[in-house]
Amino acid sequence: MLTKKEILLKCRNILHSSPIGWPIKQEDFNYLVQNIFPLHKEWDIKRNGCNVKSIIVRRNPKYGNKQFAMILDNDTIVDISFIECINGERLRDEVKEACKKAVPDLYKSEDNTVFEDKVRSWIKNFDLGEITIGKYINHTSMEFINQDLIDNFRNWYEGV
């Protein structure tokens, strides 16, 4: 498992090692489309029902920095920020929701703010990172798909 810092570094390496205007390597494409970009809060809106055909690196027209752009199967080009994917609200909300479902009995007895503080503390305490945890969430049902993670959270939560 990669830490959040390692994931950011990997994405930056893909961005800066890819030539501007050309599709990125297939291995990098698979990694971004399967693991990173779906974490963007506007992933479904950006794709607008289309599949991602390729990803290129280009210069941001406003700021001049390098950025990823997805070429959809309808040939639309859409910018996407890997930083927003990694730091975004969607993943944080999904982790919190999965934690609620992992310990519904404990969640119902807590003040929402207290519960959220405990979730943040659990993530930091075990150096898991939201990205690592996010890989173990069924993004449809918002439940953990890894029983060890559920047990880890429950045991930690009950011990606090």
Are 41 and 19 part of one and the same domain? yes
- Of the residues 86, 101, 117, the one at which a domain ends: 86
Backbone angles phi, psi at 59, to 5 degrees: -85, 135
pLDDT, mean of each 10-residue run, the chain (160 residues): 81 96 97 91 89 96 92 95 80 77 80 80 69 69 79 81
Are 93 and 81 part of one and the same domain? no
- Of the residues 30, 56, 86, the one at which a domain ends: 86
Pairing, β 66-72 against β 77-80: antiparallel
Whole-number Cα distances in Å, 46 to 23, 26, 85, 156, 157: 18, 21, 13, 37, 37
pLDDT at 79: 94
Are 8 and 71 part of one and the same domain? yes
Look at residues 98, 85, 157 and name the one whose alpha carbon lies nearest to residue 133.
98
| Tally of domains in the chain | 2
